[in-house]
Each structure stands twice: as structure tokens, then as C-alpha cells.
Amino acid sequence: MPGPLDGFKVIDLTSMVSGPLATRTLADQGADVIKVEAPSGDHARRVATRRGGFSASFVNNNRNKRSIVLNLKTPDGLAALKRLAADADVIVQNFRPGVAERIGVGEAAIREICPQIIYVSIAGFGFEGPYAAKPVFDPLIQAVSGLTTVQAGSDEARPRLVRTILPDKLTGIQTAQAITAALLSRSRTGKGQHVRLSMLDTVVAFLWASDMGRHTFVGEEGESETAQSFIDLIYETTDGYISVAVMQDKEWQAFAHAAERPDILEDERFKTAEGRETHKDERLNLIQSILKERTGAEWLERLEAADVPCAPVLTRSDVLRHPQVAANRLVVELDHPQAGRLRQARSPAWFSETDPKNRMGAPVLGGQTREILTEHGFDDAEIEALEKNGAAVQATGEG
């Protein structure tokens, strides 16, 4: 069954994670994503945790794509790319601002040959301003966005990085959504447009939904902000950890009954949601002192019976064996011709009418160079000429 984006063609000039994750999302949903790589290939091909010449990062962010190697520093390689883009729906690049224009693949150059294309630019800090031209990696965005102080718990505590590349991955997801929105707009207006996203913009907007409360009301900013209290809702039991989230009055009351502690319902500090937030340190310490009296399994049984929101704290290995993950059919296994048997998370969205199947694993570098060129009208002589002068490279068999 074809996916909901079947029939759309995407030219992917991105590398690393944010761009490849965005285009992989489109590929998972049925789009024909042509990954255009330099002869050296996407750097993510060479990072650690590898098998059969492929890195885990690359296979997870580039499945369902085809790879063509074009040397865009040569006139013939650049011309070949423009032939590929002539009937494309989307082109995505995450070069540092100004680089795409300098090498001849900026919006103006691409729109000359495909006026209705959705042209997408992903930047780190932004497209203007003092940081626009800086090299960028995920930890730098975490630092500048304020995410490290949110993770620390308060503005005064030592800043801490989130131990996953959240800005990269969040930007990839946001980019895929923006591309779909731009395609929908084009279907109504007939006009393509330039979609710009930065990792910094994405993370700050993400934080604003729940972590910028004191900065929301103009004139009442204060000197510092404390993170949402649920950041601390991991509690120690006699034999491990569980998470318990008691937010509403009914949940507080249910927790008190499950814990056989009706006395805490009489505490004036905790009788209202506002009071429990105002006195959250005392509330958290109280809950921790209670939960440390029994095992995690005992508490989960008691709390679940009382309909108190709770869950076990799982390791990554535990996640794979959890019955809810199994019920969701979230983790799938498939065979890759070079990397062998793979375990991956499926695309999270289910589509009742157009739910796509996994079509192919991540491609060998240049694995479809000849196939793609042929589809775009290149004859054998032209392809051989491109290969001879180094403008195009056919697969070597390496990941």
C-alpha cells in the first residue's frame, strides 16, 4: 500500500541528523526521496556503532531513500542536479547560510528550473544575526536556547545537557511537518515557497509551550525561572525507581488513599493545585518519603488500582520487552543487504487508508546513481561522461 506522500519527489541535500530525519519521515510516508551525496558521503555514514559498513545513525535516519553521488563542485555535477530538480516537489538543504547560493543550489537558482518547488533551508542558529555563520552542533543549541537551564531545574543550578540530540531531532520533525504544510498550501494556491527553519527557533518555540511561564506575562518576568515540577517526578522505592505524576485534585486524593495516608489531605499546603505547585519541593519530598517504604511493583499495583498516573522507569533494553511497546507494534525487524538484521522503531503515525510499508533500507553510497540518472533522461554516453570526469559516482558497495 503506498503511503500518503506517494507521488511526491524530494531532493535531499542534507547530512547528519536534522535534515535526514526530516526527509526520512517523508520517505516513510511514501515520498520518493533522492539523497544527493558528495563523493565523500554523508558524515553520518562514518560515525560509531557500525556493522557491514553502515552506522546505526545512518541506517536509522536514511531508510526508504535512494542515493546518488554528484560532485556539485563540478559544472556537470551541478547541471545534473538541476535536471533532477526540474520536476521535483521539494528540495531540502542544511548547508551553513550562504553556502547553497555560493555553490549554485540556492533558492533562486533552483526556482529558475522549477518555479513551483518547495525550497527548504535548515540552519543552526538562524539566517541573519551574529551567530548565523557560526558552525553549530546540538549542544550549542541546547546552551543558547535555555534548554540546559530547564534541564538543570532552575536558572541558578548548574546547566545540564539533555542526553540526546533533542534540537537536531526536534528540528527534523518540525521540518517534515512544515514541508507537508507547504505542499498542502501549494495544492490550493499553485505557488511554491521557501520554508526556513533553524534549530534555535525550533527549540525556543518548543520550550515556550511549558517552560517559559514567567516570561509569558509581560512585566512579570522576574529574575529567574524554575523548571516544571514534573521534571523531578522520578521516585526511589526499596528496589528501584518509578514515576508518579500527581497533578489534579482527584489524583492527589487517590494517591493519599493508595498510600494509606489520609492525613496529607488535611495539609493546607496541598489542598489546591496552586498550593501544591507553590509548595512543590515539600510535596515532592513528602511523596518520596512515602514511596521509599515499598517496592516498585507493590507501588505500581496499588497506584494503578487507584487510577493514579504511574509507570515503571525502564532501561532502553527494558523498553524492547515492555508489553505496551509490543502491543503498539512499535519496534520492527527487517533485513538490510549489507548491515544484516536490523531492529528499528517504525514511523509513529498510523494511517488507516494509506499506511506505508518499509520499502528499502538505507542506501549504499551512490547505490542508485545510474538508476536515478536514467530516470531523468540521461543516456549511457552521458552517464559514462559524468563518471569519467568525476561529476557522478556509481556505488562502490560501501555504506
- Residues 56-68 have pLDDT tens digits of 999 999 999 999 9
| All cell numbers assigned to 189 | 494556491
Task: Return the pLDDT at 135.
Answer: 95
Structure confidence at residue 223 (pLDDT): 65
What pLDDT was estimated at residue 88? Answer: 98
pLDDT at 1: 76
Query: Residue 45: how many CB atoms within 10 A of its CB?
Result: 23
| CATH code of the domain occupying 241-312 | 3.30.1540.10
pLDDT confidence of residue 191: 98
Give the pLDDT confidence score for residue 375 in this predicted structure: 98
Nearest to 282 by CA among 229, 243, 237: 229
Residues in the chain with pLDDT values less than 70: 223, 225-232, 398
**pLDDT recorded at residue 227:** 60
pLDDT, position 188: 98
Q: Give the pLDDT confidence of 255-304 residue by residue, as tens digits.
A: 999 999 999 999 999 999 999 989 988 999 999 999 999 999 999 999 99
**Boundaries of every domain in the chain:** 9-207+332-393, 241-312
H helix intervals, the chain:
18-28, 56-61, 75-85, 99-103, 107-113, 138-145, 147-152, 166-189, 199-208, 249-258, 273-278, 280-291, 296-305, 316-321, 323-327, 369-375, 380-388
pLDDT, position 395:
85
The pLDDT of residue 185: 98
What's residue 17's pLDDT? 98
Contact 12, 20 (CB under 8 A): yes
Provide φ and ψ at 311, rounded to 5°.
-165, 155
CA 213 – CA 57 distance, rounded (Å): 35
One of 3.40.630.10, 3.40.50.300, 3.40.50.10540, 3.50.50.60 is the CATH number of 9-207+332-393, namely 3.40.50.10540
Q: What is the pLDDT of residue 226?
A: 64
Measured CA to CA in angstroms, residue 230 lies from 216, 304, 348 at distances of 19, 19, 25
pLDDT the model gives residue 363: 97
Closest among 130, 248, 245, 143 to 200, alpha carbons compared: 143
Q: Which of 25, 198, 180, 195 is nearest to 97 (CA)?
A: 198
> What three-state secondary structure class fits 12?
strand
Residue keyed to cell 517496592:
295
Are both 9-207+332-393 and 241-312 of the same fold? no
Tens digit of pLDDT for each residue in 1-52?
A: 799 999 999 999 999 999 999 999 999 999 999 999 999 999 999 999 999 9
